[in-house]
Chains A and B, each alone.
Chain A
Amino acid sequence: MSRNALGLWTMGVLSLVLVFGVPAIVETFALIDFTLFIAMAILSLSLAFVWGFGGILCFGQSAFFGLGAYTYAVAVINMGESTVPILLGILLPVILALVLGYFMFYGRVSDVYLAVITLAVSLVFYYLIGASAGEEYKIGSARLGGYNGMPSVPPINVPGNPSAAVEYEALYVPAAVLLAVVYFGLRALLASDFGRVLVSIRENEARTELLGYDARRIKTVALAIGAGIAGLSGVLFCAWGAYVSPTVFSLVFTAQIIMWILVGGLGTLTGAILGCVLIQYLATWLGETKIADVNIVLGAIFVAIVLLVPSGFVPMFARLGDTLMRRRGEAGS
């Protein structure tokens, strides 16, 4: 079996365990925490795709995430039913990404300069929504609430039946299914022609364009796909906590997405999930046990990872696995 097929099978089995196995063995509150980790893992996947495979250093993935969350909150408060708000929470970030992608890629902005533009866009949201504390800042019946955020956002419900809320531990299974769908969807996309061209643009943009592909258009589409996934994750996050505040647009929030991916390994999808869950779990655990200042621990871990595991965990495991297999192969022959 090839490594790729092996990986696919492993992930397939893991997804089944995640969806069906986990709810059977852990406690209710743990499922609620896991739902949050899953929502964040979807966010992590969105950037892993855009950055790791599209080579687009997007420092403002939080803008799409936050826009998704706010869109969901405003729409569901006004409509009282969650199906359309969820779709809007995906659609609006996609539109923002298309506009932004057109703006940046057709102006040939790239690299760290692109990072600053996307970061600035996220911070514009941060300031503008932060300044909406007054009573006059309302969309329909939804108060934006400034830095206080929007509390008591209604949960997701069974489509068409607003009284059948899917919240607390019940949100776990749909979230886990969505994570699996996003993960395998991205793998399929990367295996398609579009995915190959995208990776080839990451490797050498000029050469790909000489082959007749329009890198600007393809990068814009990739950014939009990432934005839609980030928006979905924002919707889940908002529905999970019944709450969203402008801190989702802050530098600290957007930087943590980048850290998840670097810890897990840039250029892999599993790494994005692993890094995200690992760090979230660690922070939750530190807050409960209060062993040491969270900043000190996370900071030291990031530095240690860079120095000791420079390419992130998943590539390191993959290399280890390859070495072991080769050794076994040699011993067998």
Chain B
Amino acid sequence: MTVKRRSFIKTSAAGAAALAAGPYFWPKGASAADTVKGGAIYDLSGDLQLFGKNQWACAEMAIDEINAAGGVLGKKLEVKTYDSQSQMQAYNQYARQMVLRDKVAVVQGGLTSSSREVIRPILHKLKTLYFYNTNYEGGVCDRNFFATGATPGGYVDLLSGEAMKRWGKKVYIMAADYNYGQITAKWIQKAVKDAGGKVVGEEFFPLTVNQFGPTISKIQAAKPDFVMNVFVGPAHASFYGQWASAGMNKRIPMVSTTFGAAGEVVRMPPEIADGIMTCYSYYEDLDIPFNKKWLAEFRKRNGTDYGYLTDVPPKDWYGWIFWAKAVNEAGTTKREKVIEVLEGGLTVDGPGGPLTMDAKTHHCTMDMYIGQAKGGKFEIQKKVAQVPPTNTGNQCDLIARPDTNVMYEPKI
């Protein structure tokens, strides 16, 4: 990555001026009224930046496209971006700043479940729309909240079903000791049982664990037909090298709900990565005309040194397009009206195929694909069209009960 020196100097100078004045004493209402304002918050530095930078690259592309197509309500969409520095405290500060000072019409962003649960209550209370564009454990039921990411209720079935069909019915689960890991592990338990399979082992790992020797021995003793992992974060990525070092990747197939989300297929040599099976709503290798054009544009803007895009970053593109389309259709940025349009079954076509907003849950119906890592990319092996979002026990119905504000968990 290169820093453009001129733009660096320019921002530095502007920044120095801002520091001298201080952000806290800016004159009120200084910005022009002929723009529509949005707020974005991504992990642009710190240890989540390998996600955050690509998320913002996709979001920025959407914003430019929106403005090139005439903007929002005929005005320019002006998005102020904040770098959370991968810190929850910063999410907290900036969420309030976006609403109270920047007076944005919508906030998009966040990656981890913790970041979402920090800003979601704030935005709910301050009545500012929130789009969360990451695949996550599912279950949030909040009228102010819209999710474009995939949820495990849909993809776990597909992934474990396909794996059981290929390799057998005995499954070993390895998951992050984290809400996402715990809840997804429950979905896997359920999916495996429903399909007549058996879970022969289940283990949870703190996010900081990067030594997996004992577990690899335990897996060998349990003799599963395949291993399904729900890893989170850079420490867990160490697993794959140790798995390959013990020669296990040639003996027991590996299935993952997160592998490849942070460019692992590029970072890990094929000897380690090949054969790992995943299920996402987007892969760079999708053979869709929209994707070819979209990806070419992405590469033109960002070069090629960004890793490999799967599910997460492109959803931030969808998120902004969704909101802009809804506002233009509603003819206003007023929250109530925009929600009504979104609940009217709004559809956005994009690089991973069409996404449709589900009125009851505020989550999306989307195409899902099975992809297996091969030679530094994914080989797309199967498509399942229009998978509806998870609705845990059919509990969430925001049309019938618009005041709901909870997070449902699967009872299994």
Interface size classification for chain A: 35 or more
CB-nearest residue of chain B relative to A147? B178
Distance in Å: Cβ of B327 to nearest Cβ of chain A: 24
Q: Report how far A293 CA is from B120 CA in the complex, Å.
A: 26
Q: Is the CB of B83 within 8 A of A286?
A: yes
Known A-B contacts A27-B28, A295-B45; the reply to A133 vs B182 at CB < 8 A is yes
Task: Please provide the chain A residues from 285 to 333 with a CB less than 8 Å away from any CB of chain B in the complex.
Answer: 285-291, 293-295
Interface residues of B, dominant DSSP: helix
B177 partner, pick from A133, A286, A291, A293, beta carbons under 8 A: A133
Per the bound structure, the CA–CA distance linking A295 and B14 in Å amounts to: 20
Residue of B nearest to A123 (CB): B208
Q: In whole angstroms, what is the CA distance A38 to B399 when docked? A: 42
User: Per-position contact with A for B99-113: 1 when CB-CB < 8 Å, else 0?
Assistant: 111000000000011
The verdict on A32 contacting B81 (CB below 8 Å), with A145-B179, A151-B118, A284-B90 known, is no
Task: Report whether over half of chain A's contact residues are helix, strand or loop; otherwise say mixed.
Answer: helix
Q: What is the bound-complex CA distance between A168 and B409, given in angstroms?
A: 30
Q: Does A148 contact B (CB under 8 A)?
A: yes
Q: Which residues of A contact B114 (CB under 8 A)?
A: 147-149, 151, 245
Known: A32-B93, A287-B85. A133 touches B181 (CB 8 A): yes
For A1-40 the 0/1 string (1 means CB < 8 A from B) is 0000000000000000000000001111110111010000
Q: CB distance A146 to B24 under 8 Å?
A: no
Residue B168 lies at the interface, judged by CB distance under 8 Å to chain A: no
How far apart are the CA atoms of A331 and B18 in the complex, in Å? 40
Contact A243 B177 (CB under 8 A): no
Kindly state the separation between the CA atoms of A59 and B94 in the bound complex, as whole angstroms. Answer: 29
Query: Which residues of chain A have C-beta atoms less than 8 A from B112's C-beta?
Result: 148
In angstroms, Cα B25 to Cα A26, docked, is 6
Q: Are A32 and B100 within 8 A (Cβ)?
A: yes
Q: Which of B25, B82, B99, B100 has the most CB of A within 10 A?
A: B100
Chain A residues near B26 (CB-CB < 8 A): 27
A243 touching B11, Cβ below 8 Å: no
Contact with A32, one of B19, B89, B96, B179 (Cβ below 8 angstroms) = B96
Measured between C-beta atoms, what is the minimum distance from B190 to chain A in Å?
15
Residues of chain B with a CB closer than 8 A to A149's CB: 88, 114, 117-118
Q: Is the CB of A294 within 8 A of B85?
A: yes
| B45 and A294 contact, CB distance less than 8 A | yes
Report the separation of the CA atoms of residues A135 and B46 in the bound assembly, to the nearest whole angstrom.
30
Q: Which residues on A are within 8 Å of B, measured CB to CB?
A: 25-30, 32-34, 36, 127, 130-131, 133-135, 145-149, 151-152, 168, 240-243, 245, 247, 283-291, 293-295
Listed A/B pairs (14) with beta-carbon separation below 8 Å: A30-B23, A133-B177, A145-B179, A148-B117, A148-B179, A149-B88, A151-B118, A152-B121, A285-B23, A286-B85, A287-B90, A289-B15, A291-B8, A293-B45
